[in-house]
């Protein structure tokens, strides 16, 4: 037994000595490698903590955004030059840089992305807290009407959320006239909230209702109020509303009254007011739709207009219908103006 253990010990020692003998002396130090690229001042991982110090906060904002319409319903597959400037992140950044008219990009956008952090914020440009700055805050010259609007930080929003130039052009509201429409989607295109809030560029035909703006216009449509941001980015209710969901009303119909109570202290009163105003607008929309349908100009079931000649104030009435519908607030953004557009259009067709 002792001889057996001795043999094992001797064999192990031989292996260890053999392995040790494989190690040679350290070689000479090789030549110095090329210098790496020089970064911008302050650039590098030492600054990551400025923004990523609270990773859970960033994760929460990303999670909210993932449940927003910008992330899920912005039709970012519309990457052709005439659409990409608003429907894709890359296209938006290109046209903000080039100041192209009506959101047109130089070419179709490859591998289109929805609106995301990089669309709205100057992420990873300086690697400092300045990266949270918006990509666009300059006053906006409207595509339709040509007015320059300054809503402060909300200029970012209205860079896209405005009416596109309608073709063919509307007649003078004081006289009306013949308009030959060759599209079933005539109107201000989608999302004209940036012109509804200040009460601009509707077809203002004379009628029983004066063209006035609601209190929201006075409170929000200026360069210090942050406008859209005040209501659409209230305290986040998880992914239901507020924050980076940009929703005021959840998909379940619950109103996030966080931003409202500054002026409407009782949340229940806010809900009742919204319900009343939206019901009035819905009633006027239905009435105007029916008048246009009776003239063979509108298909209520499809939500589309007919092609052909529109006389008098018919084209203007159709435009106002789509303007109020596409605003999607059903009067909340600017009740008085929306109500006047619909009421006076109805009167002009009767």
Helices 267-294 and 314-327: crossing angle in degrees, nearest 10, is: 150
Work out the average pLDDT over 245-260.
92
pLDDT value of residue 45: 67
Count CB-CB contacts under 10 A for residue 115. Answer: 21
Residue 256 has pLDDT above 80, yes or no: yes
Nearest-angstrom CA–CA distance, 321 and 186: 10
Pick left, alpha or beta for residue 170 (phi over 0 → left; psi -120 to 50 → alpha; otherwise beta): beta
171-172-177 Cα angle (round to 5): 45
Residue 3 has pLDDT above 60, yes or no: no
Work out the average pLDDT over 59-87.
92
Work out the average pLDDT over 130-135.
93
Q: List pLDDT tens digits, range 298-338.
A: 999 999 999 999 999 999 999 999 999 999 999 999 999 99
Structure tokens at 76: 């970012």
Nearest-angstrom CA–CA distance, 279 and 285: 10
Structure tokens at 313: 């104030």
DSSP character string of 298-316: EETTTTEEPPEEE-TTHHH
Residue 82 has pLDDT above 70, yes or no: yes
Residues 6 or more apart in contact with residue 330 via CB below 8 angstroms: 277, 278, 281, 282, 324
Instruction: Judge contact between 348 and 205, C-beta under 8 A.
Output: yes
Structure tokens at 70: 């910008």
Residue 42 has pLDDT above 60, yes or no: no
Residues 6 or more apart in contact with residue 117 via CB below 8 angstroms: 62, 65, 123
pLDDT value of residue 129: 86
CA-based nearest residue to 254, from 240, 265, 269: 240
Q: How confident is the model at residue 100 (pLDDT cuts 50, 70, 90)?
A: confident
pLDDT value of residue 309: 98
Domain boundaries, the chain: 48-132, 136-349
* From 11-25, 172-186, 281-295, the region with the lowest mean pLDDT: 11-25
Q: List pLDDT tens digits, range 148-174.
A: 999 999 999 999 999 999 999 999 999
């Amino acid at each position: 037994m002792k001889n057996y253990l001795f043999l094992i010990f001797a064999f192990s020692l031989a292996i260890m000595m053999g392995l040790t003998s494989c190690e040679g002396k350290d070689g000479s130090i090789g030549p110095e490698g090329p210098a790496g690229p020089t970064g911008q001042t302050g650039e590098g991982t030492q600054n990551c903590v400025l923004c990523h110090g609270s990773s859970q906060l960033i994760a929460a904002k990303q999670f909210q955004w993932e449940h927003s319409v910008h992330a899920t319903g912005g039709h970012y597959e519309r990457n052709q030059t005439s659409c990409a400037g608003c429907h894709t992140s890359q296209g938006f950044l290109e046209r903000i840089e080039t100041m192209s008219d009506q959101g047109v990009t130089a070419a179709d956008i490859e591998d289109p992305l929805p609106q995301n952090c990089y669309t709205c914020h100057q992420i990873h440009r300086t690697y400092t807290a300045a990266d949270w700055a918006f990509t666009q805050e300059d006053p906006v010259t409207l595509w339709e009407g040509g007015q320059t609007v300054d809503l402060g930080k909300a200029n970012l929003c209205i860079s896209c959320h405005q009416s596109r130039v309608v073709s063919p052009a509307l007649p003078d509201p004081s006289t009306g006239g013949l308009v030959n429409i060759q599209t079933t989607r005539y109107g201000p295109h989608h999302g004209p909230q940036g012109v509804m809030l200040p009460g601009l560029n509707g077809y203002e035909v004379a009628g029983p209702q004066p063209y006035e703006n609601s209190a929201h216009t006075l409170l929000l449509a200026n360069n210090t109020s942050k406008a859209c941001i005040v209501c659409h980015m209230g305290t986040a209710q998880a992914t239901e509303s507020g924050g980076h969901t940009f929703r005021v009303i959840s998909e379940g119909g619950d109103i996030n009254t966080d931003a409202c109570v500054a002026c409407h202290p009782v949340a229940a009163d806010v809900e009742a007011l919204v319900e009343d105003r939206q019901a009035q607008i819905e009633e006027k929309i239905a009435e105007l739709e029916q008048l246009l349908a009776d003239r063979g100009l509108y298909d209520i079931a499809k939500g589309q207009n007919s092609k052909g000649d529109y006389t008098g104030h018919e084209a203007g009435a159709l435009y106002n219908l789509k303007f109020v519908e596409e605003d999607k607030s059903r009067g909340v953004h600017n009740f008085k103006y929306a109500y006047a557009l619909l009421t006076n259009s109805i009167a002009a067709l009767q």
